[in-house]
Structure 1
Amino acid sequence: MLAPQIDPVALQLGPIAIHWYGLMYVFAFMSAWKLVQVQLKEQHLWGTMIHPESFENLFTWLILGVILGGRLWYVLFYNPSYYLEHPIEVFYVWNGGMSFHGGFLGSVLAGYIYCKRAGLPYVELLDRFAVVAPLGLAFGRIGNFINGELWGRVADPAQVPWAMIFPHAGNLPRHPSQLYEMALEGLLLFIILWFTRKRDWAVGTRIAIFLLGYAAARIFCENYREPDEQLGFIFANITMGMLQSSAMVVAGIAVLVWIKRKG
């Protein structure tokens, strides 16, 4: 049985604290910036389909979409009563409290608006970002783990020798569900998409794989993750994460139907 104790502050510069959680987002955005460019250059689309200046602007819009969408979704769907009482804490993103589903929707909407205005091929670019999105998720889950948040359900150390005691979750050993999600939603899905990035698939296929792959991994991991205290189970053994990920399954199937009809 393990009891990780990781200081969430990576670096203290006087009154300024640099948190690991924030650094994970920086690493995620830097990885996406580089690896999307790699894909565009491999397909000789860099400088033709999209130019460096347009890519920088698009990326800025996507970052804003991820941060605003992820935070607002969490505030509205996961803990609205708390933030009504503590509105200033809506801005305390370094303490955690970001929703992947909201961040995903925010980036999709922001990317669509920018591409529409700039005359860029939205679906083609979204396809390339879908390849690297799981790596960003992996960094995010590491941030959750370091923060000691989103811990797993209680586990028997005799059956789960890697069970951990989290500082804010009492003295009972639990599944390190953040690491499960990092491995499945993040690294495994990234490896699948990255090593198939050169396949001659119809535009939109990678988006569908990402939607379905993430949803499957998240729903599986939710069985080991403690439901949010303020929400509990929505009904039966269904959590909010399962419910929202089920919508991604529907979206992934819809994308595949759209690809088939278009082709």
Structure 2
Amino acid sequence: MLVHPAIDPVALQLGPLAIHWYGLTYLAAFVLFVLLGRQRLKHEPFASLRDPAWTSRDVEDILFLGVLGVVAGGRIGYCVFYQPGYYLQHPLEVFAVWQGGMSFHGGLIGVLLAMVWFARSRGRPWLQVMDFVAPCVPTGLAAGRAGNFLNGELWGRVADPSLPWGMVFRGAGDLPRHPSQVYQFLLEGLLLFVLLWLYARKPRATGQVSAMFLLGYGVFRFVAEFFREPDAHLGLLSLGMSMGQWLCVPMILGGIALGWYSRPR
């Protein structure tokens, strides 16, 4: 049985300025997106597209808009999906992002809307933009899960004591738990990145890469949720599924539908 190390959430203190590990993981996610985005510019069909051509400026603009979409959508999604009653009674606390509470699925909706604006402003098909972005996202998700593990948050369900990597987390009692942050790091982060990157390197009809992202993330997150502790104020919902799993269902169905719609004819 392992014990989660007592890691100071502050990585570096410079006078009154505190740099947190979680902030560094976000910085790593942004840097990885820019590096991978520039590599995507060399891949087809983006390397050959003209009028307008794809440039490094597009990658930077997508990152800026994507960050806005993640923050706004992630926060609103958390308030709507996970604690709607509370935030209806305390609407001003929706803006208190420093208190924590972000939803990936809400952030995804925010990014989708941000990319609609980007696509229209650049005169590009929206699905073409999403196909460009999709393979560059999983490494950022992996960085975020690394931050969750360093902070000792979003831990897993109670594990069999014989599980070699079962881990005791501070604030979660004395029983070993699944390090579900690591599972998500490996599944939604690294594995999804490898599969999407390889899939996107071959010629695909517009929308196929986006469909693979929706399907892949939805399935991997659905599986990981079996090992992740449900939100205390929600518990398990209908059919014994967590809120995260229920939110993955439309992702999976949407991925299947988009894959069928965008299939080569």
SS of 1:11's equivalent in the other structure is: strand
Cα distance in 2 for partners of 1:53, 1:77 equals 34
**Partners of 1:21 and 1:147 within 8 A in 2:** yes
- 1:227 aligned residue: 230
2:60 pairs with 36, 56, 66, which one? 56
Cα distance in 2 for partners of 1:244, 1:88 equals 23
SS of 2:13's equivalent in the other structure is: strand
**Partners of 2:75 and 2:94 within 8 A in 1:** no
SS of 1:241's equivalent in the other structure is: helix
Q: Does 1:69 align with 2:73?
A: yes
Give me the TM-score of the superposition, normalised by structure 1. 0.91
Query: Per-residue deviation at 1:88?
Result: 4.8
**Partners of 2:34 and 2:59 within 8 A in 1:** no
Q: Does 1:209 align with 2:249?
A: no
* Aligned length, in residue pairs: 260
Q: Structure 1 residues 173-182 or 57-66, which shifts more?
A: 57-66
**Partners of 1:49 and 1:120 within 8 A in 2:** no
SS of 1:161's equivalent in the other structure is: coil
- 1:98 aligned residue: 102
Cα distance in 2 for partners of 1:41, 1:187 equals 22
Query: Per-residue deviation at 1:80?
Result: 4.0
Change (3 A) 1:164 1:52: same
- 1:39 aligned residue: 40
The amino acid that maps onto 2:41 is L
- 2:143 aligned residue: 139
Unaligned runs of 5+ in 1: none
Q: Structure 1 residues 36-45 or 64-73, which shifts more?
A: 36-45
- Aligned-residue CA RMSD in angstroms? 2.1
- 1:192 aligned residue: 195
Query: Per-residue deviation at 1:122?
Result: 2.4
Cα deviations by residue, 1:205-255 (Å, 9 ceiling, x for unpaired): 111111111111111111111100011111231110000000101110121
**Partners of 2:192 and 2:217 within 8 A in 1:** yes
- 2:18 aligned residue: 17
Cα distance in 1 for partners of 2:195, 2:146 equals 20
Cα distance in 1 for partners of 2:85, 2:169 equals 25
Matches within 5 A, 1:217-256: 217-256=220-259
The amino acid that maps onto 1:195 is L
Query: Per-residue deviation at 1:137?
Result: 0.9
Unaligned runs of 5+ in 2: none
The amino acid that maps onto 2:232 is E
